[in-house]
Amino acid sequence: MFPRLVRMILLAALLTPAVEVVSQPQSWYSRYTGTIASYPVTVHLHRMGPAFSGYYYYNSRQQPIYLNGTDSGGRAGLMLYAGANEVFEMRLSGNSLTGTWKKDAARSEGVPVRLTKSPLASMDFDMVFTTGSVMLRPRMEGSPAATYDAASIWPKGNTASALTIKRTVREQWDEKAGNEDIGKIFLREKKAFFTSYLEEYRDTQDSFLVEYPYSYNMDETRWILVAFHSRSLLTLADYAYAYTGGAHGNYSTEYLSFDLASNRRLRLEDVLNGAGLQKLPVLLEKYFRQSRELRPGEDLTAGGLFENRIEPNENFYVTAKGIGFSYAPYEIGPYAAGEINVFIPFTELSAYLQPSFRNLLR
């Protein structure tokens, strides 16, 4: 799921000493609304220097789809990649984002995309990020390097909702106490990461670094982005990636959904009653089968699962029209299957919604 292309671009451009935390204008979060062809959509877009990332969804369904890319600043404009093979070719001008969308980058004809920056539903955010790299042997050509990349939305103001989100974001970085802005936490974590990297390989012989340079690279990325936002609901996606040697890095996305009316993070029991919780395995199987185009009666293992069943976990997210469950690589399927995401529309669960949660959907 994570933008490997973006990581490669950042690594090539940022093999320099660590930089400071950046805010506007190099970074921002904006909500855009408009259409792909004639279909109404919403886009939550985050800029972090040269990188763009976020989620979009068709308003009729509200199933978040991850997207990422970069702005070349030239003729190509803003290129955003989403889903399996989707691509947006866009131009950002003032409050407008326009261009084309292709379902398949290699084969599909483009359809028009017209988006306009829209007021946020109930909260406004800054986007804070830091990124940088340090070479293990600065005087060695092709030296291995460590790259650190952290970003997060950060609510403006100090309303009850803003304070709840700020506290949660700090906790995601294991800061259980204190009232620091997230930028200071980023800088401290980045410094500790680089110090640990240089210390770990301090006595490694240069000959090993020349022979196996990739094995001595280290990469840590953490982004907290808006996936859905309405007047009463907010869902954040906390993406984490780490490479510490070996064949590949490991990654996962943790979702955090909030009731903005009562300023608290939602648990699964806050969304569904007992009967609804019991119904989830059947619905997860149904929508997993649809997403993988499995034939009736075909084992779920044919769709990439380890076992012929799928159970709900605690890593869920909500929009105003459905609930999704996300499974990290190796959790229920092999690494090659990537993150497995199953979305269930509330039309399947309308009889099982908790009354207090149902009120948030109005």
Q: What is the band of 25 on the pLDDT scale with cuts at 50, 70, 90?
A: low
> 40-61, pLDDT tens digit by residue?
999 999 999 889 999 999 999 9
CB atoms near residue 313 (< 10 Å): 14
Average pLDDT estimate for 179-194: 95
Phi/psi of residue 7, nearest 5 degrees: -60, -40
Tell me whether strands 51-58 and 218-229 are parallel, antiparallel or unpaired.
unpaired
| SS3 sequence of the chain | CCCHHHHHHHHHHCCCCCCCCECCCCEEEEEEEEEECCEEEEEEEEEECCEEEEEEEECCCCCCEEEEEEECCCCCCEEEEECCCEEEEEEEECCEEEEEEECCCCCCCCEEEEEEEECCCCCCEEEEEEEEEEECCCCCCCCCEEEEEEEEEEECCCCHHHHHHHHHHHHHCCCCCCCCCHHHHHHHHHHHHHHHHHHHCCCCCHHHHHHCHHHHCEEEEEEEEEEEECCCEEEEEEEEEEECCCCCCEEEEEEEEEECCCCEECCHHHHECHHHHHHHHHHHHHHHHHHHCCCCCCCHHHHCCCCCCCCCCCCEEECCCEEEEEECCCCCCCHHHCCEEEEEEHHHCHHHECHHHHHHCC
How far, in Å, are 242, 319, 332 from residue 200 at the CA level? 16, 43, 33
pLDDT of 190 over the 80 cut: yes
pLDDT of 16 over the 50 cut: no
CB atoms near residue 232 (< 10 Å): 18
Residue-level pLDDT at 278: 98
Cβ–Cβ < 8 Å for 110, 3: no
Residue-level pLDDT at 84: 85
Residue the block writes with tokens 């997860």: 284
pLDDT of 295 over the 90 cut: yes
pLDDT of 9 over the 60 cut: no
Average pLDDT estimate for 30-39: 97
Percent of the chain with pLDDT over 90: 81
Phi/psi of residue 319, nearest 5 degrees: -120, -175
Distance in angstroms (rounded) separating the CA atoms of residues 330 and 334: 5
Residue-level pLDDT at 247: 81
Residue-level pLDDT at 74: 63
| Short-list 148, 130, 151, CA closest to 217 | 148
Return the structure tokens found at 134.
């340090």
| Short-list 39, 65, 61, 55, CA closest to 344 | 61
Q: What is the band of 192 on the pLDDT scale with cuts at 50, 70, 90?
A: very high
Q: Which residues contact 262 (CB under 8 A, 6 or more apart)?
A: none
- Tell me the one-letter amino acid at 190: K
Cβ–Cβ < 8 Å for 63, 324: yes
CB atoms near residue 198 (< 10 Å): 13
Q: What is the band of 177 on the pLDDT scale with cuts at 50, 70, 90?
A: confident
Distance in angstroms (rounded) separating the CA atoms of residues 61 and 56: 11
pLDDT of 246 over the 90 cut: no
Distance in angstroms (rounded) separating the CA atoms of residues 16 and 147: 10
> 205-245, pLDDT tens digit by residue?
999 998 888 899 999 999 999 999 999 999 999 999 999 88
> 298-353, pLDDT tens digit by residue?
999 999 999 999 999 999 999 999 999 999 999 999 999 999 999 999 999 999 99
327 bridge partner residues: 340
The domains of the chain, with CATH numbers, are 4-118 (2.40.160), 128-265 (3.30.565.40), 269-360 (3.90.640.20)
Phi/psi of residue 57, nearest 5 degrees: -155, 150
Average pLDDT estimate for 135-143: 93
- Tell me the one-letter amino acid at 359: N
